[in-house]
Copies of this chain bind each other. A is one copy, B any other.
């Protein structure tokens, strides 16, 4: 068992149970290992969340088309349950997103990169939470939330 195995197991637990139940103890259980064993490979849960965020956005290509790049980032986060929440939590602690922010800045400016990143992650997190809540019948579905992503992006990139 190494760091990568732990990140893989954590992402499986996340996708199956959601962020709320993605505990160190459950990740350890998925690896058939004692919780304390994880601490030989990661310093703490925050570090693990950072590594998870890194992996979630790892495949996202950033090019001169900022609109398309933003959509790809969104899709990567939507691909896994509570993906945006993990990225939001980790990026708030400045873990796992620095490379992406750098790539975006190279294509535009530091300010636009930061603003874009805040918007994309924030809107995607709202979308993902809204989908879950409406799937559980806790809230009436807002069919306009999804298409509003592109419109907000247009406002930002105009």
A30 within 8 A of B: no
- Within the complex, the shortest CB–CB distance from A118 to chain B, in Å, comes to 4
How many chain A residues touch B (CB < 8 A): the figure is 27
Q: Are B133 and A93 in contact (CB under 8 A)?
A: yes
A29 at the interface (CB under 8 A from B): no
Q: A119-B122, A122-B122 are in contact. Are A152 and B114 (CB under 8 A)?
A: yes
Cα–Cα distance between A130 and B95 once the two chains are bound (Å): 12
Q: 9 tightest A-B contacts by CB?
A: A118-B122, A115-B152, A122-B122, A111-B151, A92-B129, A115-B155, A118-B119, A118-B123, A111-B152
List 22 A-B residue pairs with CB atoms under 8 Å apart, sorted by A's residue number. Answer: A85-B92, A91-B126, A92-B125, A92-B126, A93-B129, A94-B130, A110-B148, A111-B148, A111-B155, A112-B155, A114-B123, A114-B152, A115-B119, A115-B123, A115-B152, A115-B155, A118-B119, A118-B122, A121-B122, A122-B122, A155-B156, A156-B156
